[in-house]
Amino acid sequence: MVRMGADGRHMSQPDLMSWRMEKDPVLRSTIVAVALLDRSPDQERFVRMMERGTRAVPSFRRKLVESPFGRTPPRWVDDPDFDLSWHLRRIALPHPGGLDAVLPLVRAAAMSAFDKDRPLWEATIVDGLADGRAAIVLKVHHSLTDGIGGIQIANEMVDFERDGTDRGPLPEDPPTSAPASALADSVGWYLSTAGEMVGRGVPWLVRSGLRSVTNPVAALRSVVDTTRSTARFVQPVFTTLSPVMVGRSTVREVAALDLPLDALRQAGRAANSSLNDAFLAGILLGLKHYHSRHGAQVAELRATLPISLRRESDAIGGNRITLARFALPLDVADPVASMHRVDRIVRSWRDEPAVPLSSAIAGVLNVLPAGVLGGILEHIDFLASNVPGSPIPLYMAGAEVLRYYPFAPTVGSAVNITLMSHTSHCCIGINADFAAVPDLPVLVESLVEGFGDVLAVGGEGTRIEVSLSATTTAQT
């Protein structure tokens, strides 16, 4: 069973890193998700569903409070003025449309800051889509959760049948905590931080200690390897590898792709590779086509990929990931060869000794001046993430969720491309910095071509559905 985080706890180092980025709007860490529904959800049931969900997931009723004198990270505390109705909105489109008509709302949500005096999330029902359909646009700050944590949260706010799922009595309101004194706040944080370091570091120290007795040479090599590995994770970068996607701004453009899950999975199997390998190869081939359209031949691009560290015993929400930054090849034209190269590179980074030390790595980055951290992040060429979604149909207030599109933040990179599986679909959200990618339709066309190359490995031609924001097409 997944447990809930405790009220009054300080932000973890990974959560704090997401929060500190807000000082630079270019690094804004807003996650936006779109649930495309087969019908308009019932308002009363939707409010009741969210009421239950925010009680089951207390972080959705908590706000951030700065610690006294700024000596420690901010704390999550229950909002004594929590008003569910403020977080829920409902609008209607002026004209019927599909996902493309919803994307301008996604774009606006991704570009706008949160009210820092309230819990960091909003949900908007969008009525008036074609064929009686609707959508729900959910906006959440990244400090609340990573991708897999977001799926856990969503599972507390959906039904598994159209008529509803019996979840028993409504959970009680979480108790409100009393504010901590400055001394208690500081002491509590240092003790909890030490406890976390002990909890996560002692097993490694014990293994190293035992190894030093039985094999001192191997023990010394392990310590050296871990130190070098940590240095690779925090090593600064000062230039983009792309000569095309170089600009950075606060303006975002969004698009979405939809392709069959089985087709992408089959392409991976045909190459003796995984779904994730096929996904990343599709991105790389697409970016190769994009750079070729701009007359640029690029050997490799620098990517950031999250490596999940989430355990079953971890609390819902929060960030349980390590962000790995490494170069991926762009000079491989064959999709099978690209999948194999991706597999070797990603596997080597997953096996890095420093991967379990996410809090320590984030802690190192958090002590850097904000400008230095921004300088590192703004030289990443792209972010990519693959989030496993629901294999079964889900319902929200009587409406079936047909698709679920994730739009993760660019956090300084040129573009973030995130895949979330939903039933038999791969829902891919594209969030691009307009200064880096002023011609998003061209990038989307290139990605469609790249994924087409990969899908052909599976032996079938597959139609890829494309959705573009009206604002995007108007600017190009």
Residue by residue, DSSP assigns 123-188 as EEEEE--GGG-EEEEEEEETTTB-HHHHHHHHHTS-BSSTT-----SPPPPPPPPPPPPHHHHHHH
Is residue 441 one of the residues assigned to a domain? yes
Q: Any residues with CB less than 8 A from the CB of 68 and at least 6 apart, and which?
A: 181, 182, 185, 186
Q: Which pLDDT belongs to residue 313?
A: 60
Is residue 351 one of the residues assigned to a domain? yes
Q: Which pLDDT belongs to residue 106?
A: 98
Is residue 78 one of the residues assigned to a domain? yes
Whether 338 contacts 329, CB under 8 Å: yes
Please indicate, yes or no, whether residues 230 and 261 belong to a single structural domain of this protein. Answer: no
Please indicate, yes or no, whether residues 230 and 275 belong to a single structural domain of this protein. Answer: no
Answer whether residue 367 shows pLDDT above 90.
Answer: no
Please indicate, yes or no, whether residues 348 and 447 belong to a single structural domain of this protein. Answer: yes
Please indicate, yes or no, whether residues 281 and 199 belong to a single structural domain of this protein. Answer: no
Please indicate, yes or no, whether residues 107 and 211 belong to a single structural domain of this protein. Answer: no
Mean pLDDT value of segment 442-467: 92
452 CB neighbour count, 10 Å cutoff: 19
Cα–Cα distance list, 163 to 152, 156, 157, 172 (Å) = 21, 16, 14, 24
Q: Which pLDDT belongs to residue 277?
A: 97
Between 305 and 309, the more confident residue is 305
Q: Which pLDDT belongs to residue 321?
A: 59
At 218, the pLDDT band (50, 70, 90 cuts) reads very low
Answer whether residue 187 shows pLDDT above 80.
Answer: no
Please indicate, yes or no, whether residues 421 and 279 belong to a single structural domain of this protein. Answer: yes
Distance of CA 8 to the CA centre of its chain: 24
Domain count across the chain: 3
At 1, the pLDDT band (50, 70, 90 cuts) reads very low
Extract the tokens encoding 170. Answer: 């409504």
Mean pLDDT value of segment 27-34: 92
At 204, the pLDDT band (50, 70, 90 cuts) reads very low
Mean pLDDT value of segment 256-268: 96
**Range name among 114-123, 197-206, 289-298, 299-308 with the lowest pLDDT average:** 197-206
Q: Which pLDDT belongs to residue 306?
A: 81
Helix/strand/coil for 204: helix
Any idea which residue has 């400008």 for tokens? 371
Please indicate, yes or no, whether residues 78 and 218 belong to a single structural domain of this protein. Answer: no
Mean pLDDT value of segment 129-138: 97
Please indicate, yes or no, whether residues 288 and 193 belong to a single structural domain of this protein. Answer: no
Whether 250 contacts 28, CB under 8 Å: yes
Mean pLDDT value of segment 466-475: 66
Q: Which pLDDT belongs to residue 73?
A: 80
Please indicate, yes or no, whether residues 29 and 104 belong to a single structural domain of this protein. Answer: yes
Extract the tokens encoding 429. Answer: 């959200």
What is the distance between the alpha carbons of residues 347 and 341, in angstroms, rounded to a whole number?
A: 10
Answer whether residue 226 shows pLDDT above 70.
Answer: no
Phi, psi angles (nearest 5°) of residue 19: -70, -40
Q: Which pLDDT belongs to residue 9?
A: 74
Please indicate, yes or no, whether residues 346 and 447 belong to a single structural domain of this protein. Answer: yes
Answer whether residue 119 shows pLDDT above 90.
Answer: yes
Answer whether residue 363 shows pLDDT above 90.
Answer: no
Between 29 and 449, the more confident residue is 449
Domain span including residue 148: 13-155
Q: Which pLDDT belongs to residue 151?
A: 67
Between 377 and 433, the more confident residue is 433
At 463, the pLDDT band (50, 70, 90 cuts) reads confident
**Range name among 62-66, 78-82, 357-361, 432-436 with the lowest pLDDT average:** 357-361
Is residue 230 one of the residues assigned to a domain? yes
Extract the tokens encoding 315. Answer: 């609390």
Q: Which pLDDT belongs to residue 16?
A: 77
Catalytic residue among 10, 142, 291, 422: 142
Written as one letter, the residue type at 194 is A
Mean pLDDT value of segment 315-338: 82
Please give the DSSP secondary-structure letter assigned to residue 354: T
Please indicate, yes or no, whether residues 146 and 193 belong to a single structural domain of this protein. Answer: no
Distance of CA 177 to the CA centre of its chain: 30
- Told to judge if 142 belongs to the known catalytic residues of this protein, a careful annotator would answer yes
Cα–Cα distance list, 305 to 132, 347, 386 (Å) = 38, 12, 9
Q: Which pLDDT belongs to residue 246?
A: 96
Q: How large a percentage of the chain has pLDDT more than 90?
A: 54
Answer whether residue 179 shows pLDDT above 60.
Answer: no
Please indicate, yes or no, whether residues 274 and 228 belong to a single structural domain of this protein. Answer: no
Is residue 243 one of the residues assigned to a domain? no
Q: Any residues with CB less than 8 A from the CB of 441 and at least 6 apart, and which?
A: 255, 468, 472, 473, 476
- Top-ranked range on mean pLDDT: pick from 77-91, 161-175, 359-373: 77-91
Q: How large a percentage of the chain has pLDDT more than 70?
A: 73
Please give the DSSP secondary-structure letter assigned to residue 72: S
Is residue 406 one of the residues assigned to a domain? no
Question: Which secondary-structure segment (H or E) carries 56?
Answer: helix 43-56
Q: Which pLDDT belongs to residue 155?
A: 75
Is residue 151 one of the residues assigned to a domain? yes
- Beta-bridge mates of residue 89: 124
At 374, the pLDDT band (50, 70, 90 cuts) reads confident
Mean pLDDT value of segment 377-388: 92
- Beta-bridge mates of residue 121: 140
Is residue 173 one of the residues assigned to a domain? no
Between 72 and 308, the more confident residue is 72
Between 418 and 209, the more confident residue is 418
What is the distance between the alpha carbons of residues 60 and 144, in angstroms, rounded to a whole number?
A: 8
CATH number at residue 59: 3.30.559.10
Please give the DSSP secondary-structure letter assigned to residue 315: B
What is the distance between the alpha carbons of residues 17 and 370, in angstroms, rounded to a whole number?
A: 10
Please give the DSSP secondary-structure letter assigned to residue 60: G
Q: Which pLDDT belongs to residue 143?
A: 81
What is the distance between the alpha carbons of residues 256 and 25, in angstroms, rounded to a whole number?
A: 23
Please give the DSSP secondary-structure letter assigned to residue 299: S
